[in-house]
Amino acid sequence: MLECTDLDVQEISNQLGFSDQSVFGKFFIRQTGLSPLKFRMRKEELRKQ
């Protein structure tokens, strides 16, 4: 969802059923090694290249 939508992280975490954005952020970091915002920024940079 972070790659293919402009939804903010709060909305994405709500849609995925997380009780809090910080819980989603911690889960996301464990899975990817990046915060949701850094992940989105990195994908955007790669897309521009």
C-alpha–C-alpha distance, residues 47 and 41, integer Å:
10
Half-sphere exposure of 25 (CA within 13 A, CB side): 9
Domain positions in the chain: 9-48
45 with 33: CB under 8 angstroms? no
- DSSP character at residue 7: -
- In tens digits, the chain (49 residues) has pLDDT values of 888 888 999 999 999 999 999 999 999 999 999 999 999 999 888 888 8
Exposure string for 20-47, b = 16+ CB within 10 A, e = fewer? ebeebbeebeeeeeeebeebbeeeeeee
